[in-house]
A = this chain, B = another copy of it.
Amino acid sequence: MKLHILGCTAATPRTLANPTAQVLETKRHMFLIDCGEGTQVQLRRQKLRFARINHIFISHLHGDHFFGLIGLISTFMLLGRTEDLHIFGPKGIKEIILLQLKLGNSYTAYKLYFHELESKETEVLFEDDRIKISTIPLAHRIYTNGFLFQEKETEYKLNIPVLEDLKIPVVYYPKLKQGGDIVVDDLIYRNADLTFGPLPQKSYAFCSDTKYYEAIVPIIANCTALYHESTFLEKDAALAAKTGHSTAKEAAKIAQLANAKQLILGHFSSRYNNTDWFKQEAITIFPAVTIAYDGLTIEF
């Protein structure tokens, strides 16, 4: 998985800081998560082949998370897109987009599918044989979801030299790939001796915007990477509570409780001049902290 941060500032776009948008790239897919104003320009700036985006996930209907969506949809149209596009987001998003297309008399030649979300329980949004994507219900001022991207159990990797050495017939390979032991000519072979074991299952949890909310911990447990908003520092905890946001320390606490492998902090308020302060605060609780910035790419 490769995560591209297109924007991670809170509230309003700035000259050098863009509102929330991320691309999660897998071998097969390019998922767009949130789409603040200017996202399409950020996609160009980072030279991402954004025609590959077929699924867009919108966390909530505050402007810094979706005002760029209508522009991206229009640009896809102007570029002659024909592939289906799936939009996952809170109820109401379909009305917003269709109203603007209607009043501009600008209909897309490609199919636009809206998957409107209302549930307060986690639900699966997308699934193929490689990945599963679910909502992470969050607690913000309005209805908000995070998104969990989980690789499925991958096949076990065969140790071909050993298998050939032992002259194991290839007919047994599928069972080995699924992790099973085999019996050949009354001899039992243990899977662990014939494979390198399964590749690690990776998962990415996007959690923005939300106040400190422990209910998400079981959903995101053991994730490879957690992006958690930290709009404020602890000294402004009262403001965080009032506005339904988190502090860096609270984000770190969630990462710790969830046993995340790494924490990426973002959605910084522009009141702070230095994003290192967020790291300094978070690492007192959780060690593996990365500070997001526009243009950052992280592989995991």
| Segment from A65-73, A130-138, A222-230, A232-240 that makes contact with B | A65-73
A231 to B284, CA, bound (A): 57
Contact bitstring A73-94, B, C-beta under 8 A = 1, else 0:
0110011000000000010110
Q: Is the CB of B63 within 8 A of A40?
A: no
Q: How far is the CA of A223 from the CA of B71 in the complex (A)?
A: 34
Asked if A44 is at the interface (CB within 8 A of a chain B CB), the reply is yes
A198 at the interface (CB under 8 A from B): no
| Cβ–Cβ contact B96 & A103, under 8 A | yes
Tell me how many chains of this kind the complex includes. Answer: 2
The answer to whether B96 touches A100 (Cβ under 8 A) is yes
- Say how far A42's CB is from chain B's closest CB, in angstroms: 9
Binds B, one of A7-15, A169-177, A253-261: A7-15
Contacts of A90 in B (CB 8 A): 103
Complex CA gap A93/B92 in Å reads: 17
Give complex CA distance A92, B106 in Å: 14
* Known contacts A38-B37, A38-B41; is-contact A12 B104 (Cβ 8 Å): no
With A100-B96, A104-B142, A105-B142: A44-B62 Cβ-Cβ less than 8 Å: no
Chain B residue at minimal CB-CB distance from A103: B92
The closest CB in chain B to the CB of A45 belongs to B15
Bound-state CA distance A104–B106 (Å) is 24
Is A188 interfacial (CB-CB < 8 Å)?
no
**Complex contact A13–B71 (CB within 8 A):** yes
Interface string of A252-287 (1 = CB under 8 A from B): 000000000000000000000000000000000000
Q: Are B104 and A63 in contact (CB under 8 A)?
A: yes
Most buried by B among A15, A99, A103: A103
- Note all chain B residues with C-beta closer than 8 A to A74: 12, 63, 67
Cα(A100)–Cα(B68), bound, Å = 13
The reply to whether B75 and A44 form a contact with Cβ atoms under 8 Å apart is: no
Residue among A61, A71, A90, A106 having the largest count of chain B Cβ atoms under 10 Å: A71
Residues of B within 8 A of A93 (CB): 103
Chain B residues with CB under 8 A of A68: 37
Is A186 close to B, CB under 8 A? Answer: no
A299 CB contacts on chain B under 8 angstroms: none
Within 8 Å of chain B (Cβ to Cβ): is A164?
no
Binding site for B on A (CB under 8 A): 11-15, 37-38, 40-41, 44-45, 61-63, 67-68, 70-71, 74-75, 78-79, 90, 92-93, 95-96, 99-100, 103-106, 141-142
Q: Which 6 A-B pairs have the closest CB atoms?
A: A92-B103, A12-B75, A37-B71, A63-B74, A61-B103, A61-B104
